[in-house]
Amino acid sequence: MHENAVAANHSSEDSTMNKIENSSGSGDMITLPVIMTESTCCVPAQTVPDALTRLNQAFVTGSISTTAGKLPRVSSALSWQDHWGSIKARWGVGRMDYAIDPGLYALGNPDNNSSVLVTANYKMSFDRLREALPGRDAWILVLDTKGINVWCAAGKGTFGTDELIKKIESSRLNDIVSHRKLIIPQLGAPGVAAHKVKQVSGFKVYYGPIRAKDVAAYLDAGLKAGSEMRIMTFPLNERIVLIPIELIETIKPFLIIAPILFLLGGIGGPAGFWANAFNYGLFAVVAFLAAILGGVVINPLLLPHLPGRAFSIKGFSIGIVIALILLYLRNINLQAWPGRIEALAWLLIIPAISAYLAMNFTGTSTYTSLSGVKKEMRWALPLQISAGICGLFIWITSLLIA
């Protein structure tokens, strides 16, 4: 998910569709539905108040006294610890624990007329929002999304109607501000039934711009977003920042599987065990690594330019190219059956791995919808698994008859 987009999120009040632009330069536009149907959740008759948000969190700069008690005050200037925390989260270090206390925070020195902005308790989402508002005074209402960013949390249901109403009540927001306006991240719109929030809490929901950097302009315009604020792009820099965590997650199984492939390569061939291992096994390790890099590095870099709409097709196309290049460099003897069988094996294995890993980006891009992802997985996963398993058995067969 793009963290600089999760603080100010998805869908205008007077539109049920969002425009999303392929920012590769092609100018292609697609639309995704925003679910604004009535929530089926049941709001409890009485909400038990949460404990006050802790004042001793590392990023808290002080406190502010309110009718609800002392609340933490934060700054729009991020510290080096904040930046370092983001870098570590990008690389998967402590990512699942990169969360802050849910509740109400004071940005600057807000009063009862200050705007109320809603975000998730994933710290990177919180940081992007406050960083975009230098010199501003506002209240930031943080929902308990279990450390998940707004877009993903809205899909999972944790950034939703129930949680929003609960935080309004437990923070005693109606006693702290005199107005009844909430600015909800637009990417969180699928999880929030605005009419239900209004009915239960009295607060009217407004949807901010797509990106946190536009929130200040949105506030200055009287809570009105220009058309460019409603267009979701997925440019190169946003695709690049997704690579590290995906790469880290795939390197872990690589370190386990690579030695196995290397040793398996030694079981066949005309030479001795170690000579065969360094011939067939080492090539298998290189091919496996190349397939991983194709799915988690080349795929996001070239995403708008790859054929097909389905991510599995994009990854498959990368895998085919990688397989052909590696087989050309290996100079396999296609005149003999062992060489033909080995080539067939890698033409199945490499594209299958690249296609599978490419699908990891479906939940982070603007190219697909939830229903589209589910549909793709139903037909793509069985094919990928079948191709990978068949390729592995064919490769072992090629070793035995070499």
- Alpha carbon 132 to chain centroid distance? 20
Distance between CA atoms of 214 and 83, rounded to whole angstroms? 21
277-308 b/e (C-beta count within 10 Å ≥ 16 → b): bebbbebbbebbebbbbbbbbbbbebbbebee
Distance between CA atoms of 303 and 387, rounded to whole angstroms? 23
- CA dihedral (130, 133, 137, 142) in degrees, to 10, reads -30
Taking 60 as the threshold, does the pLDDT of residue 63 lie above it? yes
Taking 60 as the threshold, does the pLDDT of residue 29 lie above it? no
Task: Give the bridge partners for 74, in sequence order.
Answer: 107
Distance between CA atoms of 138 and 135, rounded to whole angstroms? 10
Find the angle CA(358)-CA(394)-CA(350) to the nearest 5 degrees: 20
- pLDDT (tens digit per residue) in 97-127: 899 999 999 999 999 999 999 999 999 999 9
Distance between CA atoms of 344 and 351, rounded to whole angstroms? 11
Q: What is the DSSP letter of 16?
A: S
Banded pLDDT at 373 (limits 50, 70, 90): confident
Across the range 236-255, mean pLDDT stands at 89
Banded pLDDT at 365 (limits 50, 70, 90): low
Domain range summary for the chain, segments of one domain joined by +: 17-233, 237-401
The predicted structure's pLDDT at residue 268: 80
The predicted structure's pLDDT at residue 64: 95
The predicted structure's pLDDT at residue 3: 44
Across the range 302-320, mean pLDDT stands at 92
- pLDDT (tens digit per residue) in 322-352: 999 999 999 888 888 989 999 999 999 999 9
- Pair type for strands 62-66 and 181-184: unpaired
The predicted structure's pLDDT at residue 37: 35
Across the range 122-150, mean pLDDT stands at 94
Taking 50 as the threshold, does the pLDDT of residue 85 lie above it? yes
Distance between CA atoms of 296 and 249, rounded to whole angstroms? 10
Q: Which CATH number fits domain 17-233: 3.40.80.10, 3.40.50.11600, 2.60.40.1890, 3.40.50.2300?
A: 3.40.50.11600
